[in-house]
Amino acid sequence: MTTQVIVLNGGSSSGKSGIVRCLQEVLPEPWLAFGVDSLIEAMPGAGTGIEFAADGGVSVGEEFMTLEAAWATGIAAMVHAGARVIVDDVFLGGAATQERWRKVLDGLDVLWVGVRCEAAVAAGREIVRGDRVRGMAERQAEPVHRGVDYDLEVDTTHTEALECARAIARSVINGRWSAVSGSR
């Protein structure tokens, strides 16, 4: 089997989008990249039914969940129609979020990738970016991985995005099982 979807999960400022850009560069075929950021950008204003508290807390309401579910269905349909897709998401619900993606992506070959970054380092990078509500990085660093199963995990704390992307690309090219055995 051949990987059709790469799902990256990690907290805010863990380095997902940098890895995505590198993945698109190093993978031999063209992959489309979508993520929670591009979903929010597609929504009216600053996002529908999502609120960013001053302390970095993020809460999503029913309206957001409904649009997100329809969007995820669309992503799955793109893959069924032949596109290779990289999704980067923040599993605010941990295992429950993964379960929702599993259902949507049912029948597709998915590579699940955890993107970790030490909370303190992610918080520092949040300052470097300068365009995020402070506190998100630290708050999300651990909970988003709770109970989530991965084929592969990368950690950007001490590893460059390009190197992480190369590890993921090897798993894609060599198949998911190499990733699993390599990471255990």
Q: Is 55 a catalytic residue?
A: no
* H or E segment and range at residue 8: strand 5-9
Distances (CA, A) of 79 to 28, 108, 130, 146: 17, 8, 34, 27
Contact footprint for its own copies (CB under 8 A): 18, 21-22, 24-25, 30-34, 38-39, 41-45, 48-49, 63, 66-67, 69-71, 73-83, 121, 124-125, 127-130, 158, 160-163
Question: Cα Rg for the chain, rounded, in angstroms?
Answer: 16
> CA nearest 102: which of 54, 147, 157, 159?
147
Q: Which residues of 2-34 are buried (b: 16+ CB within 10 A; e: fewer)?
A: ebbbbbbbbbbbbbbbbbbebbeeebeeebebb
CB of 149 to its own copies, least distance (A): 25
96 — phi, psi (to 5°)? -65, -40
Closest CB 184 distance from its own copies, rounded Å: 27
Tell me the closest approach of the beta carbon of residue 125 to its own copies, in angstroms: 7
Contact 31, 6 (CB under 8 A): yes
Nearer to its own copies, 55 or 160 (CB): 160
**CB closer to its own copies out of 30 and 107:** 30
CB of residue 62 to its own copies, shortest distance in Å: 12
- 87 or 148: whose CB is closer to its own copies? 87
Measured from the CB atom, is 132 or 180 closer to its own copies? 132
Q: Which residues are catalytic?
A: 37
